[in-house]
Amino acid sequence: MPETNRIEYKSSLTKDLNLEKEVVAFLNYREGGLIYVGIDKTGKVLGVKDADGDALKIKDRIKNNIQPSAMGLFDVVAEEREGKDLPNGQASIIKIIVASGSEKPYFKKKYGMTEKGCFIRVGTAAEPMPQAMIDKLFASRTRNSIGKIKAHRQDLSFEQLRIYYEEKKKPLNKQFKKNLELLTEDGSLNYAGYLLADENNVSIKVAKYSGQNRVDLIENNEYGFCSQIKATKSVLDKIDLENRTAATITSKERKEQRLWNAIALREAIINAFVHNDYTREIPPKFEICADRIEITSAGSLPEGLSKEEFFEGYSIPRNKELMRIYKDLEMVEQLGSGIPRILETYGKECFQFSENFLRMVFPAIEQVRKEFGTVSERIRKEFGSEVAKTFEIIAEQPDLSAQQIADKMGKSARSIEKYIAKLKAFGAIERKGPKLGGYWQINELNK
């Protein structure tokens, strides 16, 4: 495709290539953009000789030659492209993904906040930014960010963060607080550092309810008060455990399917952590109901980002310090990839926007919603409310024993065993595995 307001082609990476100018222009542009190195202005693929080496040079130039810091706002990836005139019919190119920054105006460090240093994308070109625009953007620059807020505690340790970086073979040196932008301009630990420290006062909860509403709370798990990375991994593990496999048995075959799409769910959880507005001191919230999972984060869309741009994958990272670290630890792949991944399975209607919050609602597969609607009601009409309640508990926690169900319902184990026998005869449930260590499978009932 030709160059556009969001796409720029560069034939090669040379010393006189003003790469920083193009990056600055996209950082200052409300939609960000893409820069391809190894493609000429006509769109012809030329390739680069050393994609990995050039990618490292690009990262170093963006890191050292642009202010404010663009770390966490860009990705540099190597890709293979086909071309008729290329050796073997393909060549390596470099794609630079640049997000719109929240600390505009960005500028080339060499020239400062002047018309020689500040650029904005206009059509297919990076144009000098008028001084009046520079002054206006600087006056309205976002100052209330987690990178600028001083942590109320300065006696913080980061052993958990060190371990996670070592696992990725990226050991932290003595300057890691500065390198990861965990310090304010005066050298104090900022709120990003507070969130990533071994101990903090941020509570991260995963609540679980037995039915379709928030009346009967059966679990309230706490994963907070630790490094945000550790909390994220704990929530991912918990939700993955809850994402059980449901089976449908028909006369022809047995079909198994997880209640929720695992890739979309992972993206949503990480997005909630990375893009939450922590300046409000409200952490993300995770709730599991019988028929859905709800993930709520503080703060609606960032200023300058419309719903249409949000769904198309344009990215304005709210917390670039967190984004950078999640990328370092390979918990985030590319900027702007999360929402499109979610939309591959779930529609736009799953996103609920308000003035102060963004909520993502992921319905379980149709079979499960049917279980807690039509099937549960059929059981209630056939056997009464006690048997229906037993079914609902088993559907929520299929590994419970009869005694555990009895304890929840305040009944005897003998009564529960009678209810279970009725459910088995009705075809609603089926035992898998031994009495100890097995589980109940929920079956789809014939109409």
Q: What is the pLDDT of residues 60-69, one digit of tens each?
A: 999 999 999 9
234-243 CB contacts, 8 Å cutoff, 24+ apart: 234/204, 235/204, 235/206, 235/269, 235/273, 235/286, 236/266, 236/269, 236/270, 238/206, 239/206, 239/265, 239/269, 239/286, 239/288, 239/293, 240/265, 242/208, 242/288, 242/293
Residue 395 — pLDDT band, cuts 50, 70, 90?
Answer: confident
Q: Tell which phi-psi region holds residue 313, choosing left (phi > 0), alpha (psi between -120 and 50) or beta.
A: left
The confidence score (pLDDT) of residue 264 equals: 95
Residue 150 — pLDDT band, cuts 50, 70, 90?
Answer: very high
What pTM was computed for the model? 0.73
Which tens digit of pLDDT belongs to each residue from 230-253?
999 999 999 998 898 876 544 455
Mean confidence (pLDDT) of the chain: 89
- Separation of alpha carbons 262 and 258, rounded Å: 8
Q: What percent of the chain has pLDDT over 70?
A: 94
> Which domains are seen in the chain, by residue range?
7-139 (3.30.950.30), 205-363 (3.30.565.60), 366-442 (1.10.10.10)
The confidence score (pLDDT) of residue 216 equals: 81
Residue 445 — pLDDT band, cuts 50, 70, 90?
Answer: low
Residues 6+ apart with CB under 8 A from 197: 153, 156, 157, 158, 161, 189, 227
Which tens digit of pLDDT belongs to each residue from 139-149?
877 666 899 89
Pair 322, 228: CB distance under 8 Å: yes
Q: Which two tokens stand for residue 94?
A: 């470099």
